[in-house]
Structure 1
Amino acid sequence: MKTLIVNSKNYIDVIEMNDIVFFMADNCYTKVVTKDGHQYVVSQTLAKVCNETEARFIRVNQSYLVNVNFISQVDKKRKTILLKESSEVKFTISQKKLLELITLCSKNS
């Protein structure tokens, strides 16, 4: 999937996957946050979005799917990921697994 189609009440937005910083679970919906700060809501669960996204996105906890291209720092002590657009996301996977996924995704991007 190279683009994400978001159908809202008044518009149909086409979002480039390269522009998506992260996806965040919100019950049966998923919030999409882009690098320019726009937020969209899709009527799919995060699990379904996860199955349809490209390899550059990694599931760092139950609620977040992060684009590795926007990771600027990993704070191992606080178990947080700092994203280039200044968001912080907690990770619950092991540090070793996180590093493996970041490395693997970076090679595939």
Structure 2
Amino acid sequence: MVTTTCIIADADKGFRQLLKLQLKKADPTISIAGEAEDAQTAGIQIDAITPEIVFMDANLPPTDVFSVLEACEHKKFKLIVLSDGEQHALKALKANAVDYLLKPLRRADLEVALYKARAGMGRQPVTVANMAGVAPSVEARIPIWTGTSYEMVDADTIVYCKANNNYTEILLLDRRKFLLSKTLKFYENLLKDHPFCRIHQSYLVNTVYIKSVERGRKSHITLKDNTRLEIAQARKDKTFRFLGLM
């Protein structure tokens, strides 16, 4: 079994133990290669172990995560920032973190973060040099099992996702369909930084491909291929706000 090396850097030993258990349940191929409770140890381990993924608290004592990154020679890893609040989110984005997780961690959020790392988001080396400039654009590439191999699919080629019990059917722009073993909620979280709107319990739609919207007692959208989908009553207001119709 091919494993992915990982380091956890957090001052709270109890949290580190909990995260290790959560990672084991979320992805058995993750190998915890090191732990650190302070910035100096984290920097040493990152350079010595050269991990593929680093989970690091934004307020790692006696400094912060971004000072650690600046001092590290090894930068070719996927960074997942941990925090008790949202005050460091912009810095994390500018440092090319693949995700920013709030404590206490939710399993769904952790799975999405791992999925992003696996899919190669944040492929640029981690560097605080970017922090003075504009944050990189979000680019999602989703690994899809075609039956013989994994195909990396760009998010903007997904027309819509449809719930199928605990699976999700994805329709691509080239009309291919794939049935994937993740829930629609999983893909809603994964694609939250892209123009996807949950119009119904069963549908997550790429709004780029909406041709028209029918408003009434029963509302619908029509896609550019003339597919007609109902907007759930409970999701009308949110959908119309998302589309700028309210």
Structure 2 length as normaliser, TM-score?
0.40
Counting only pairs closer than 5 Å after superposition, residues 10-89 of structure 1 correspond to structure 2 as 10-53=148-191, 54-77=193-216, 78-89=218-229
Per the alignment, residue 102 of structure 1 pairs with: 243
Q: Which has the higher strand share?
A: 1
Paired residues of 2:195 and 2:206 also in contact (CA < 8 A): yes
Within 1, Cα distance between the matches of 2:190 and 2:180? 13
State the shift of 1:97 in Å: 2.6
Structure 1 gap ranges (5+): 104-109
**TM-score of the superposed pair, with normalisation by structure 1:** 0.85
Report SS of the residue matched to 2:243.
Answer: helix
How far apart are the structure 1 equivalents of 2:150 and 2:239? 34
Unaligned 5+ segments in structure 2 are 1-138
Instruction: Please give the per-residue CA displacement for 1:52-100, whole angstroms capped at 9, x wherever unaligned.
Output: 1133101001000000101110111341110112211100122x43221
Asked whether the 8 Å contact 1:3–1:15 carries over to 2, the reply is yes
Which of 140, 143, 146 is equivalent to 1:5? 143
- May I ask how many residue pairs the two structures share in their alignment? 103
Task: Provide the identity percentage.
Answer: 25
- Which structure: greater helix fraction? 2
Between Structure 1 and Structure 2, whose CA radius of gyration is higher? 2
Which one scores higher on RCO, CA 8 angstroms, separation ≥ 6?
Answer: 1
Where has structure 1 moved over 2 Å in runs of 4 or more? none
SS in 2 for 1:60: strand
Question: 1:19 and 1:42 mapped to 2: Cα distance?
Answer: 16
